[in-house]
Structure 1
Amino acid sequence: MEVGNRVMNKLFVQLFNDILEIEEKTLKNGPLQDISITEMHTIEGIGMYKERTMTEVAQDLRITVGTLTTAINKLIKKGYVERKRIEEDRRVVLIRLTKKGKLAYRLHEKFHNDMVSQTIEGLNEEEEKILISSLDKINVFFKGKIVSIGKEK
């Protein structure tokens, strides 16, 4: 089993690095050349359909509001995000995607959909179920690690 663990570790590292590299190259060679992977994931964290508070988005992205503010300032300058304060409580800042931001969101979503489609191409139904089950178990494991790391602070 030790050989299997080494192989799986190598595959995890390669997959993670390859996905990030492919995402970066896709952004840099496509219509979204002016944004980084981190900015794209911030756009994804904001979402398509409703205004969200800075606090909500920061929590979803597991970053501080200060870190998010820096990212949002850059995305506003680039035309991807709008920000406003609510009249009832001027401390609450709402953000939402502009048309350009929504286009970026959709293009990134298409990238992920294409990646998944190509990954499962050629798998039969049983193989697809096994892959989903395995990925779900891996996801649960990593979610548990995130929680336990957060408790150490």
Structure 2
Amino acid sequence: MDLSDLKPPKGAHKKRKRVGRGPGSGWGKTSGRGEKGQNARSGGRVHPKFEGGQTPLSRRLPKVGFTNIHAKTVVSVNVRDLERVFEAGDRVDEESLRAKGLVKGACDQIKILGAGELTKSLTVSVNRFSSTAREKIESAGGTAEDV
């Protein structure tokens, strides 16, 4: 056995159908497109949503809701996460939160929520705070600064 003996399995190579090459080929004259009609023409096809003149499904279904183009995406971070990730005396801002993996992706604002306990003194500088989060940060000896 050597490289010259290697052959693809039977049926792996199929000959290309060459249409429009005379009556002897079996695909001459109309080239398998039938007689006349829209589909016999070059470029002739209806678009995929066309339902033969019936009102299309996209128009029959009810339209509900709207997209608020003025909505702000707010990412929330809990006080317990600050306790877990940061050391005492650290400055917490958007860059440090992203570096530690607490904030991912695009967002307009970051809000600190008050779930959990905080024992470390941190300087937190973000867009928004819940009242309990601000209270917990300040009672632990830290400062909560609005950006």
- Which bin holds the TM-score, normalised by the shorter protein? under 0.3
Give the structure with higher Rg (CA).
Answer: 2
Greater per-residue helix proportion: 1
Q: Which TM-score applies when normalising by structure 2?
A: 0.23
